[in-house]
Amino acid sequence: MSNTPALKQSALSLPPKVKGYPLVGALPGLLSKRLDFLEAAQKQYGDIFTLDLGFSEIVVMCHPRHAQRVLIDHMKNYVKEGPIWDSFRTFLGDGLPVREGEPWRKQRRMMQPAFHHQKLVMLTEKMAESIDKCFEEDWEKAANSGEPFDIAKAVTRVTMNVLVRSLFGSGMEQGEADRVSVALAYVFDFMMLGIMTHSLPEWIPVPGKARYKESIQIIDETVMRVIERGRKDPTVGDNLLSLLLQMSDPETGEKMSDELLRDEAVSLFCAGYETTAVSMSWAFHFMAQNPELAQRLETEADAVLGQRAPGFNDLQQLTYSRNVVLEALRLYPPSYWMPRQTVAEDEVDGYRIPPNTMVAIILHLLHRNEDAWTDPNTFDPDRFTPERSVGRHKQAWVPFGAGQRQCIGKEFSLMEGPLILSRFAQRYRIKPVPGRVVERHVSTTQHAKDGVWVYLSKR
Ligand code: HEM
């Protein structure tokens, strides 16, 4: 918390409030225009401002120094509590992303080994196999037929297969994975509305809520079946679930209960599924729009890999592929906001942030902040070269969060992205479908509204 004396702090003013309507404040603008509304507010009020949402207020922050303060320097004062996180908990239970305090620390310590470097090296081969399998099933057909192809949908199938194989090995069948994929997509789409309507009494009808509940049930039942299979046959082995099944509390020796296993498995699934898919859809969108970018990816893939499949040791040399992924994550961070609630009063940029205040770091705006990025709205992967990164604020790029609660799957994702891009560049060429405009849709993640339609051809 701030070192400023208490008397001086309470004399500080609150961050400026965005003008809105009586009773509902800025909510109509936020619901209809979402990130465009926040962008306009930032232009008018600066990098920190308050939104009145009618039922509550939220302080919006858009500068790298805010990420530094909230996620790292004063992280203990900014916790995952309050109505937003309660709403996430209705689905994720006690999973890692929504836990707090000592139980979070203990659980993170237990799960971290599953994401260690060595485990990831082992996973690369599986990832490459899953990518190739999907390419052979869907992408090859599209390249041969010359028909328009929704590459956003196709890459979602790739990331889903990679995740299912990494999390559950052969424990989840293809039909189950397809059903869960549809259910998860719906849960993601509904979740934002779910958060906003979480405090309403049960008897007020919220459109889509029944299907949301049904979808959760499908996910739950499938995950529980996979856990059961894993318990019956622990030899199935080298996947994340089998590691979780073996884990025990270092003090009590207790194993994870089925409920906690379910919560962790669903959380990993949820956190890893749409996020990677969405970032890769944007990367392909930019590749289709920009022939020079596609050409550079080809040249890199040819030089580093020739015809063979990429492996872990190649990743270090696939620098342009990696920079394309980093830039897609900058311009379109799949998790575009990070909500928290203050414990005690704090001072940020000379403003008072009272206790129990909802705060949201808006990654979409932070990643385009002109204090950190030149020409921020342009897609330019070369901004991540070492020379051009000198002097940039450390928290100017935080698509995976920062500090202790940084994404546990960050390295997993940053391996998968370049593997997909380089494997693609070895085999295919891409062109946009004329007349199909890609529009951003902002729900739980920000993705392309009606897909990313392209023509594929074989090289
Ligand atoms: C491009 C892909 C991904 C993005 C952009 C992303 C983003 C994030 C962000 C922003 C957070 C922090 C949220 C906060 O502090 O409020 C987070 C946490 C988390 N992510 Fe990811 N993620 C991605 C992929 C994955 C994958 C592949 C997995 C697992 C297989 C995963 C598992 C998790 C978990 C378990 C947490 C909670 C960590 C904790 O609280 O200790 N994520 N992710």
CATH number of the domain where residue 84 is located: 1.10.630.10
Contact present, 71 and 403 (Cβ < 8 Å): yes
pLDDT of residue 284: 97
Number of domains in the chain: 1
Q: Answer with the residue of higher pLDDT: 14 or 90.
A: 14
Measured in Å, residue 187 CA sits from the centre of ligand 1 at 17
| Any ligand 1 atom below 6 A from CB of 399 | yes
Residue 270 Cα to ligand 1 midpoint, Å, equals: 9
Distance 167 CA to ligand 1 centre (A): 15
Please give the number of the atom of ligand 1 that sits closest to the Cα of 264.
35
Q: Which of 165-169, 172-176, 252-256, 421-425 has the highest mean pLDDT?
A: 421-425
In a domain, 389, yes or no: yes
Q: Does a structural domain hold residue 211?
A: yes
Ligand 1 centre distance from Cα of residue 69 (Å):
19
pLDDT tens column, 30-61: 766 788 889 999 999 999 999 988 778 899 99
- 152 Cβ closer than 6 Å to some ligand 1 atom: no
Q: Is the CB of 315 under 6 A from ligand 1?
A: no
Give the mean pLDDT of 309-338. 95
Q: Classify burial at 364, counting beta carbons within 10 Å of its beta carbon; exposed 0-12, middle 13-18, buried 19 or more.
A: buried
Pull the structure tokens for residue 394. 């450390």
CB 418 less than 6 A from any atom of ligand 1: no
**What is residue 298's predicted lDDT score, i.e. its pLDDT?**
97
Residue nearest to atom 21 of ligand 1 (CA): 407
107 within some domain: yes
Give the Å distances, CA to CA, from 207 to 29, 74, 186, 277, 402.
20, 39, 13, 26, 35
Q: Name the CA dihedral angle for 151, 155, 157, 163, rounded to a multiple of 10 degrees.
A: -170
pLDDT higher than 90, residue 325: yes
Ligand 1: which of 407, 410, 413, 447 to mutate, judged by most atoms within 8 Å of the beta carbon? 407
**What is this structure's pTM?**
0.92
Judge contact between 222 and 237, C-beta under 8 A.
no
Q: What is the pLDDT of residue 33?
A: 73
For ligand 1, the distance from its centroid to the CA atom of residue 276, given in whole angstroms, is 10
**Residue owning tokens 């073996």:** 246
In this predicted structure, what is the pLDDT of residue 7? 45
**Residue 432 domain-assigned?**
yes
pLDDT band at 4 (very low <50, low <70, confident <90, very high): very low
Residues in the chain: 459
| Index of the ligand 1 atom closest to the CA of residue 166 | 30
- Atom number, ligand 1, closest to the C-alpha of residue 163: 30
54 inside domain: yes
54-112 pLDDT, tens digit per residue, is 778 899 999 999 999 999 999 999 999 988 888 888 889 999 999 999 989 988 988 88
Write the residue with the smallest CA distance to atom 41 of ligand 1. Answer: 405
Using CA positions, which residue lies closest to atom 3 of ligand 1? 275
The band of 458, judged by pLDDT with boundaries at 50, 70 and 90, is very high
In a domain, 1, yes or no: no
- Which domain range does residue 104 map to? 6-458
Whether residue 378 has pLDDT greater than 80: yes
Question: Could you tell me the distance, in angstroms and rounded to a whole number, from the CA of residue 415 to the centre of ligand 1?
Answer: 14
So what's the pLDDT on residue 198?
Answer: 66
Tell me the C-alpha to C-alpha distance, in Å, between residue 359 and each of 63, 68, 355: 13, 14, 11
Whether residue 361 is contained in a domain is answered as yes
Whether residue 401 has its Cβ less than 6 Å from ligand 1: yes
Of the candidates 170, 174, 161, the one whose C-alpha atom is nearest the C-alpha of residue 128 is 161
Calculate the average pLDDT of the chain.
Answer: 89
Mean pLDDT of 114-124: 84
**Spatial contact of 148 and 123, defined as CB atoms under 8 Å apart:** no
Instruction: Verify whether ligand 1 is closer than 6 Å to residue 413 (CB atom).
Output: yes
Tell me, using a 6 A CB cutoff, whether residue 272 lines ligand 1: yes
